[in-house]
Structure 1
Amino acid sequence: MHMNSAPHLLTEDRAEYERILDDALRNAHDRPDLAGIGQRLNTEQLRTMALNATALISAAAAAEYDHFVKVREESRTPTAVSAINSVLTPAGDDAEAGPGAGVGVVVTVLAPVLAGTAAVIFLLVGYILKMLDPSPSIADPLLAAGWFFGAVTAIGILAAAIGLLVTALRNSSTQVQAQEPGGELPDEVARAREAWRHALLERGIMPFLRDALADPSADPVSGVPPHHVSRIPKVGYSGPEFSSPSEGGSGPRPTFTSPDFTSPEFGGPEHQPD
Structure 2
Amino acid sequence: MNSAPHLLNEDRQDFEHVLDDALRIVLDDMGGGGSGPTPGDPGLPLNAEQLRTLALAATDEINAAAAAEYEAYLAVREETRDAAREAARTRDNRAFGYAAMGVADRSGSGAGLIAVLAVLTPLLSGAAAVIFLLIGYAMHAVSPEPAIASPLRTAGWFFAAVAGASVLLGGIGLLLTALRDGSGAIHDGPDSLSPEVTQARARWREALLSLGMLPFLDDSLRDAATPRPATPAPPATGPRMPHLGYSRPDFSSPQDPRPTAPRFSSPDFSSPDWGGPEHAPE
TM-score, with normalisation over the residues of structure 2?
0.54
Letter in 2 for 1:191: Q
- The 1:29/1:125 distance shift into structure 2, 3 A limit, reads farther
SS at match of 1:213: helix
Distance, in Å, in 1 between the alignment partners of 2:3 and 2:222 is: 28
> Which residue does 2:69 correspond to in 1?
64
Residue 47 (structure 2) pairs with residue 42 (structure 1): yes
Q: What is the correspondence of 1:1-274 to structure 2 with a 5 Å cutoff?
A: 3-25=1-23, 28-32=26-30, 38=39, 39-90=44-95, 94=98, 112=122, 115-116=125-126, 119=129, 122=132, 136-147=146-157, 149-150=159-160, 152-153=162-163, 156-157=166-167, 160=170, 164=174, 168=178, 171=181, 175=184, 183-216=191-224
Distance, in Å, in 2 between the alignment partners of 1:14 and 1:80 is: 24
Superposition deviation, residue 71 in structure 1:
1.0
Count of residue correspondences? 206
Superposition deviation, residue 148 in structure 1:
5.1
- The answer on whether the counterparts of 1:118 and 1:149 sit within 8 Å (CA) in structure 2 is yes
CA deviation string 1:190-244 (max 9, x = no partner): 121112112111221112111211224779xxxxxxxxxxxxxxxxxxxxxxxxx
Q: Percent identity?
A: 49
Superposition deviation, residue 22 in structure 1:
3.3
Letter in 2 for 1:146: G
CA deviation string 1:155-212 (max 9, x = no partner): 7448736863795598569x57x78999431122112111211211122111211121
- The answer on whether the counterparts of 1:121 and 1:146 sit within 8 Å (CA) in structure 2 is yes
Letter in 2 for 1:203: L
Letter in 1 for 2:207: A
Letter in 2 for 1:194: A
Distance, in Å, in 2 between the alignment partners of 1:136 and 1:62 is: 83
- The 1:182/1:62 distance shift into structure 2, 3 A limit, reads closer
Letter in 2 for 1:205: M
Distance, in Å, in 1 between the alignment partners of 2:221 and 2:203 is: 26
Distance, in Å, in 1 between the alignment partners of 2:53 and 2:37 is: 17
Structure scoring higher RCO (CA < 8 A, sep ≥ 6) equals 1
Distance, in Å, in 2 between the alignment partners of 1:156 and 1:81 is: 31
- The 1:36/1:159 distance shift into structure 2, 3 A limit, reads closer
> Which residue does 1:251 correspond to in 2?
none
Superposition deviation, residue 72 in structure 1:
0.6
Look at both structures and tell me which one has the larger radius of gyration over its CA atoms.
2
Unaligned runs of 5+ in 1: 98-104, 220-274
Superposition deviation, residue 69 in structure 1:
0.7
Aligned CA RMSD, in angstroms, stands at 4.6
- The 1:170/1:15 distance shift into structure 2, 3 A limit, reads closer
> Which residue does 1:224 correspond to in 2?
none
Structure 1: 4+ residue segments shifted above 6 A: 127-130, 178-182
Letter in 2 for 1:213: L
CA deviation string 1:34-54 (max 9, x = no partner): 967733212222122212222
CA deviation string 1:48-93 (max 9, x = no partner): 22122222211221222111111111110111112233333427x9
